[in-house]
């Protein structure tokens, strides 16, 4: 390798890939929906990463490299049709950016309603997002990638990363508010 890193492929895998297994699984379960599918997706992605581990030159970018592999595995086997059907167009992006000031009209005073949202509802709301927005929200908020890393993984410009995040989070907020108000309503009805 020439830069003082581990050379044995099995050791490289254990040193550089395995530490990200939990993060891969967290993202996979939010992409694939079912635990069994998430496990299959992570397993398939790890095998593909192992097969290509000699190509991993920049250890610093290992995390983004892994997620790029997992995304391509997912799109190949589960989501390509779904993605193509729902991918946003330029018009969508422009209208998204133009809408940014709408955030000030959102009913933020109802924030305490989040108290009534439980984990399973968060998961459900994320799963219901269209794939381009779901993957942006998952990468940013569940796995903590930077915009630049997301731009590499998703192969889209930085501006598109930001607009997908903005739109995805707003859709998520609306869905959670819906769950929260239903939970709130139930409590009041008792």
d(CA 49, CA 16): 10
Distances (CA, A) of 185 to 68, 188, 189: 42, 5, 6
Residue 14 in contact with residue 8, Cβ under 8 Å? Answer: no
Q: Cα angle at 140 between 119 and 160, to 5 degrees?
A: 130
- Choices 60-68, 84-92, 120-128, 182-190; region in contact with other proteins by CB under 8 A: 120-128
The correct pick among 66, 139, 162, 171 for binding other proteins (CB under 8 A) is: 162
Cα dist from 171 to 144, 158, 164, 168, whole Å: 19, 20, 10, 5
Which one of the spans 5-13, 59-67, 127-135, 182-190 is the region binding other proteins (CB under 8 A)? 5-13
DSSP states of 87-143: PPPHHHHHHHHHTGGGGGGS-GGGGGGGGG--HHHHHHHHHTS-HHHHHHHIIIIIS
Choosing from 16, 31, 42, 66, the residue that interacts with other proteins (CB under 8 A) is 42
Of the candidate residues 5, 7, 22, 182, the single one contacting other proteins (CB under 8 A): 22
The verdict on 39 binding other proteins (CB under 8 A) reads: yes
- Binding flag, residue 31, other proteins (CB under 8 A): no
Choosing from 6, 15, 50, 183, the residue that interacts with other proteins (CB under 8 A) is 50
- Please answer whether residues 133 and 152 qualify as being in contact, where contact means their C-beta atoms are separated by less than 8 angstroms: no
Verify binding: residue 83, other proteins, rule CB under 8 A.
no
The least distance separating other proteins from the CB of residue 47, rounded to whole angstroms, comes to 5
Residues that bind other proteins in the complex, under the rule CB under 8 A: 9-10, 13-14, 18, 21-22, 24-26, 29-30, 34-37, 39-40, 42-44, 46-48, 50-52, 76-77, 100-101, 103-104, 106, 108-109, 111, 114, 117, 119, 122-123, 126, 137, 140-143, 146-147, 162, 165-166, 169, 172-173, 176
């Amino acid at each position: 390798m020439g830069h003082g890193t581990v050379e044995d492929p099995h050791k490289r895998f254990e040193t550089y890939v395995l530490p990200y297994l939990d993060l891969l699984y967290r993202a996979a379960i939010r992409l694939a929906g079912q635990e069994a599918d998430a496990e299959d997706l992570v397993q398939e992605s790890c095998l593909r990463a192992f097969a290509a581990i000699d190509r991993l030159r920049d250890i610093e970018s290992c995390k983004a490299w892994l997620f790029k592999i997992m995304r391509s595995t997912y799109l190949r086997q589960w989501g390509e049709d779904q993605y193509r059907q729902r991918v946003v167009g330029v018009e969508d992006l422009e209208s998204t950016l133009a809408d940014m000031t709408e955030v000030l009209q959102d009913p933020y005073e109802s924030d305490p309603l989040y108290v009534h949202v439980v984990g399973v509802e968060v998961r459900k709301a994320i799963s219901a997002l269209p794939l381009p927005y779901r993957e942006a929200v998952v990468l940013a908020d569940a796995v903590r990638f930077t915009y630049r890393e997301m731009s590499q993984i998703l192969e889209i410009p930085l501006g598109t990363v930001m607009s997908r995040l903005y739109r995805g989070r707003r859709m998520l907020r609306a869905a959670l508010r819906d769950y929260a108000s239903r939970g709130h309503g139930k409590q009041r009805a008792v």
